[in-house]
Structure formats: structure tokens, C-alpha cells
Amino acid sequence: MKIRGVLIEDTFAEAFTMAAARIVVTAVNDRWARAAAVQLTGFATSVIACKCEAAIERELGPEETPDARPGIAMLVFAMNADNLRKRLVERIGQAVLTCPTTSCFDGLPDLADRVPAGRALRVFGDRFQTSTVIGGERYWRVPVLEGEFLLQESFGVQKKAVGGGNFLILAEDAESALAAAEAAVAAIGGIRGVILPFPGGVARSGSKVGSRSYKSLVASTNDAYCPTLRLTTDSALTEGVNSVLELVLDGLDAESIRHAMRAGIEAACRPGVRAITAGNYGGKLGKVHFHLRQIMSGVS
Amino acid sequence: MSEFVTLSLRATFEGQLDVEGVAADRFADRSEREIAALPARLGARTARLGDFFDVRGERSTRVRVDGALAQVHGLGAGMASGELVIDGDAGRRVAAGMTGGEIVVFGSTGAEAAARVRSGLVVVAGDVGRDAARAMIAGTLVVCGRTGAEPGRASTRGSIVSLGGIAVPVTYWLACTYKPSHVRLTLKYLHRHYGLAIDERVLDGRYRRYCGDAGSPDRGEILEWAPALSSNSANDRRR
């Protein structure tokens, strides 16, 4: 299968079930909403070392937010609901509570599974905090130097979220790989329910499980896709592939990831790109498989 | 189960009608006939809701009441959950002793609105009479119009949000002037969910936060919208 001359390899991305929350931060203007969002989603590329994966999902207009102020929706993924609760307490506590003018709301209000992250954070108020119930939801008013920080008590948890959707762009040179990756990121941007947790949405350090030399390592470089090692290791690259970049996708459900992978791969099929492939572990580790040719069927 | 239970005041009556059974949670598992059979009191005389109201709908915790209700007292008293919308003026003791849910009055109320409330949200689009939120334990009363005399007396943790003028009792003290995020959230919710008209100026406004009540000094509060942040209002001069 080829799209505009780019080979779509007959393989699949192997992904995992995760727990996810959508955090909505509002502020007096875009600047302060973004200031909090950038901090909350910082250092959250891989669950292996960062304990969670997070990124901005999209900007929200005042008509979309609970308090009619500018806002930003973020998705946070962890391995299970308890881990997710801990990460939310840490990140909302350090990145939103601290940020001028912000309020913090649950972006998955219809889900029955919930984590009481706001309830845990209320104690920052040292018993001066008060709560109010609006529309059946409890919100905490935590006194802070500026005035009050408003925080929803509980956050909905999507227990069947999916982490680790991915595809790799195999290109003739680094410029072509980067241009294709940027095009893919742009195409995926704004698709609801999906984030790209790596810097700028792109990972250059795709990894394999474990290490051939260092037993303590959980992950090490995916040598099969490193162009400099094409003749040194059991390479998956053909001659002429000189740079590879990877996009990793986390989504609230598998369908969101499929939709985003299709948009991203289609955008990445451009001059200088030889092939699109995907990372997997032989299908033994992750329950969710995204077969590239199925996803791209009908695209030419 | 209906989406709403609607009570329409049908009969004219002489005197004062008490209807403390009209609370949204009490309609959750009652049929139309059972709702109509709930007790009411006209002066000293015992009656039934159905003697005065047409009842439409059943088994719902979303309740609408309409008609000339200014002499109907105790609407929403003791309500524990659900949603009660009063489409017009209401009498005394609206929401008295309420422990949860939301009551919205698209008119004005008599005295003692939201008295002894433990939890929940009470909203009055018009004015409220004297002794509003008396002995409030917690919960919120939002008054879009004028708040009558002696509001919040003996309140311990209750919150009064005044948008249309209030004579703050001398037993409350000014803490600060600020933009309370939860008021904005509450007002936006009321606009979106109940269609309550909200002026942009109150949505984004500054509020004076008064703390009391001195008779039982805890965390009762009055949040008074400060339209122009004038420093010479009667309340500011006094403090």
C-alpha cells in the first residue's frame, strides 16, 4: 500500500489501556490559562519516567467553559485511576493553584468513575476553605493571596483510555522527516480526545523495551530504527532512509486514536518520506492494536 | 416518570396558604394523585395541595410552580435535593430549612427566605423580604434584587450574594473587595441552566466580602456586588 508514493508498511502500533482525565483550566485571559496549562502538562512525555503523560488537547472559548472565561483543556494519562489521582493532586496543586486568576474544572463530567483530586487539594486552605454546590457538583473555594482559588472536587476518569498509539516516519533526510512530522502534528491538532505528549508532538528517541547491555534500564534506544546503526545492528531500515521521527498518541478511546493516526499519516505522506511504519512488541504486551493499512484504507 | 412535575395554582383563597410539602425530593416517587394528596394548611384549616393546585406530571425531582403565589408560604421548605422553580412571586419561608438541591424564584419572596438552610442553592430573581438567610448554617442565597432588612442574622457558614442592594447588618464586617470566582460560576450556571438573565457587569464584577454574624462568629458571609466600587456607600462609611 502506498499513499502518494509513500509505503505504508503492513504492521501495527501496539497500545495499552490507561486511565485518563480531562482538566479544564480557565483564567482571566488566554495568557494565564496557557501559563497554567504549560506547567501542568510539563515533563509528562512518557509514563516510564514522568509517572504520567499529558498535553494540551485544545483551547476553549468562553462559550465552552463552565465560568465563561477563556480556557484550555488538557488530557492526563496514567497507568491506573489511583496513579492518576496522585498525578492530578501534584500537578493541579503546583501548576494551577499557584497560577494567578485560574480556576480548575473537570472536563469529563458525565463519567461515573471519579477521583477526588480537588477534595485532596482543598486542605491547602488550612480549614479556611469553604465549598459550594452548583448543579450537583461540589467546588472548593481555597483562600489564596490573590483572593480565592476555585477548584472542582472530583474529576471524571476514563478507565478505558488508550496510550501508546504511534507511527514512525522514515525519511530520506532529517529535514524531510521533520517537515512530515510537523505536518502530521498540525493535522492531528485539535482532534478531540487525543494528545501527542512528546515535545512539539514528536519523539526522536523511539525506544525498545529494556536494554541489551544495561539490565537496570526499562527502555533504551530503538536501534533497529537508528540510521547511524543501519550496518551495525539488526536494522529495520533500508538504504536511503537517513532520519526517522515518531509520533506517539494517547486518546480517550481507540477510535479517537484511529481518527488521529489516519489524519497524521495522511499529512506525513509527502516528498522525502519513504515509508510509514509503527512500533509494536509483537502484539504480546498491549491489548490495543492499530493496523496501519486498515486505518489508511481508502486513502490514496 | 415525567421530566417535570408542574403545580399550577388554580383556586383563589382568602388568607395564608402553607405548603411545606412542596419540595422537589418529595415528588421523586409520588404519582400525580399522591402529590395532590399532600397536606396543605389554609390558616388553621387542614387541606390538600390538590384543593388549590392542578398537578401535572409525577415521579420527578424537577418541579415547577406557577400562579399568584405571594400568599403561599413555605415553598421548598425542608427540601433535600432536586430542582424547584417558582415562576413568579412567592410568600414567606421559601426554602426554609432546606438541606440540598436548588430553588429558583423568578419573582420576589416574602420574609425569611432561605432561613436555617443547611446546604443548597436558593436564587431569587427579584427582591427578598426581611430576615433572609436567618440562622443559615451553610448554603448560598443569591438575590438579584433588593435584600430586605436584617439579612443573615445568626448565620454561621451561609453565603448571601447580593446583586441589587443590601443593608449589611452592623454585625458583619468588611473583609475585602474582590472578584469571587464561584459567584461568576454560579451566575453563569444559572443563566445557562435556568435562563436567568445575568448582567455582564455582575458576572465580571467586584464584590465586597463581609463576614459575620457577630452573634455567632464563624464563617457567614455577605458578598455585595459593588457596581462602581464607590467608596462612599452607606456600608463603607459605617466601617
3-state secondary structure chain B: CCCCEEEEECCCCCCCEECCCCCHHHHCCCCHHHHHCCEEEECCEEEEHHHCEEEECCCCCEEEEECCECCEECCCCCCCCCEEEEECCECCCCCCCCCCCEEEECCCCCCCCCCCCCCCEEEECCCECCCCCCCCCCCEEEECCCECCCCCCCCCCCEEEECCCECCCCCCEEEEEECCHHHHHHHHHHHHHHCCCCCHHHHCCCEEEEEECCCCCCCEEEEEECCCCCCCCHHHHHC
Q: Does A68 touch chain B (CB under 8 A)?
A: yes
Question: Is 0.95 exceeded by the ipTM?
Answer: no
Q: What is residue B217's predicted lDDT score, i.e. its pLDDT?
A: 61
For residues B139 and B159, give the distance between their C-alpha atoms in angstroms, rounded to a whole number.
Answer: 6
Of B158, B206, B160, the closest CA to residue B184 belongs to B206
For residues A13 and A167, give the distance between their C-alpha atoms in angstroms, rounded to a whole number.
Answer: 7
Q: What is residue B231's predicted lDDT score, i.e. its pLDDT?
A: 42
Shortest distance between the Cα of A229 and any Cα of chain B, in A, equals: 57
* CA-only gyration radius of chain A, Å: 21
CB-nearest to A67 from B119, B157, B181 is B181
Shortest distance between the Cα of A213 and any Cα of chain B, in A, equals: 55
Task: Answer yes or no: do B181 and A148 touch at CB < 8 A.
Answer: yes
Q: Does A158 touch chain B (CB under 8 A)?
A: no
Chain B residues in contact with A132 by the CB 8 A cut-off are 121, 140, 159, 182, 186
Q: What is residue B216's predicted lDDT score, i.e. its pLDDT?
A: 67
Residue A68 reports pLDDT greater than 70: yes
Helix, coil or strand: residue A164: strand
Query: What sign does the dihedral A284-A286-A288-A291 (CA atoms) show?
Result: negative
Q: What is residue B75's predicted lDDT score, i.e. its pLDDT?
A: 98
B48-51 LR contacts (CB < 8 Å, sep 24+)? B49/B7, B49/B19, B49/B21, B49/B22, B51/B11
Residue A237 reports pLDDT greater than 50: yes
Shortest distance between the Cα of A230 and any Cα of chain B, in A, equals: 58
Chain B residues in contact with A67 by the CB 8 A cut-off are 181, 184-185, 188
For residues B91 and B4, give the distance between their C-alpha atoms in angstroms, rounded to a whole number.
Answer: 22
Shortest distance between the Cα of B181 and any Cα of chain A, in A, equals: 6
- Once rounded to an integer, what is the mean pLDDT over residues A76-104? 98
DSSP A117: H
Tell me the one-letter amino acid at A26: T
Helix, coil or strand: residue A50: helix
Low-confidence ranges of chain B (pLDDT < 50): 230-239
Q: What is residue B232's predicted lDDT score, i.e. its pLDDT?
A: 42
Residue in this structure with the C-alpha cell 498491549, named with its chain if needed: A286
Taking the C-alpha atoms of A276, A281, A283 and A285 in order, what is their torsion angle to the nearest 10 degrees? Answer: -130
* Summary mean pLDDT of chain A: 96
Q: What is residue A89's predicted lDDT score, i.e. its pLDDT?
A: 98
Chain B residues in contact with A147 by the CB 8 A cut-off are 176, 178-181
- Once rounded to an integer, what is the mean pLDDT over residues A186-190? 94
Helix, coil or strand: residue A145: coil
Cβ-based neighbour number of residue A52 at 10 Å: 28
Shortest distance between the Cα of B199 and any Cα of chain A, in A, equals: 13
pLDDT over 70, % of chain A: 100
pTM: 0.94
For residues A79 and A52, give the distance between their C-alpha atoms in angstroms, rounded to a whole number.
Answer: 8
- Once rounded to an integer, what is the mean pLDDT over residues A271-286? 92
Provide the chain A residues 127-146 that lie in CB contact (below 8 A) with chain B.
130, 132-135, 139, 141
Categorize the per-residue pLDDT at A188 as very low, low, confident or very high, splitting at 50, 70 and 90: very high
Write the CA distances from A178 to A54, A134, A194, A237, A260, integer angstroms.
Answer: 22, 47, 21, 17, 18
Q: Bigger pLDDT: B216 or A215?
A: A215
Chain B residues in contact with A139 by the CB 8 A cut-off are 182, 185
For residues B103 and A262, give the distance between their C-alpha atoms in angstroms, rounded to a whole number.
Answer: 49
Pairing of strands A194-195, A243-251: antiparallel
For residues A261 and A276, give the distance between their C-alpha atoms in angstroms, rounded to a whole number.
Answer: 11
Give per-residue pLDDT as tens, A145-181.
999 999 999 999 999 999 999 999 999 999 999 999 9
Provide the chain B residues 133-172 that lie in CB contact (below 8 A) with chain A.
140, 157, 159
Inter-residue contact A79 to A47 (CB < 8 Å) = yes
CB-nearest to B119 from A133, A141, A150 is A133
The grid coordinates of residue A102 equal: 485560574
For residue A137, the Cα-to-chain-centroid distance in whole angstroms is 27
